Amino acid sequence: MGEVWTWIISFLILITLVGLIVYQLMCLADLEFDYINPYDSASRINSVVLPESILQGSLCLFFLVTGHWFMALHGLPYLYYNFQLYLKKQHLIDVTEIFSLLDWEKKKRLFKLAYLILTLFLTLFWLIYSTLDDYEE
């Protein structure tokens, strides 16, 4: 039964992560269509950048602790990328250059989104798998 709970928790964390990324993408899209100004857009996005990285880091850790090393490994590149950006101090959006970087920032987040959705499917698979397992027992 513990297995199932592990997958349920990681599923919830992933949903939150997807939500954060989508939120950032929305801010960028709003900016592009001139619904909000760059100051608001940048501060909104920047306010969730760190939570996103931390949450993703803890998800990896969670997988590791619960012994799902494959899933932990799967999350490593993402974690490493975030960590690199943080070290270079490029994790936050630069409000002065936001328009010239707009395309890149969007692309970056779309990739993250795709990656998270892939992870989400894997998690779903494991969730169903372990549920069936439990059921059979």
Pick 16 or 46: Cβ nearer another protein: 46
CA distance to 17, 47, 78, per residue, from 126 (Å) = 18, 32, 20
Instruction: State the minimum distance, in angstroms, from the CB of residue 104 to another protein.
Output: 12
Could you list the residues that contact another protein (CB under 8 A)?
A: 31-32, 34, 37-39, 89, 92, 94-96, 98-100, 102
Within 10 angstroms of residue 89's Cβ, the number of other Cβ atoms is: 8
Pick 9 or 38: Cβ nearer another protein: 38
CB 60 within 8 A of CB 72: yes
Instruction: State the minimum distance, in angstroms, from the CB of residue 31 to another protein.
Output: 8
Pick 105 or 126: Cβ nearer another protein: 105
Of 43, 14, 16, 51, nearest to 27 (Cα)? Answer: 43
CB 18 within 8 A of CB 120: yes
Instruction: State the minimum distance, in angstroms, from the CB of residue 99 to another protein.
Output: 4
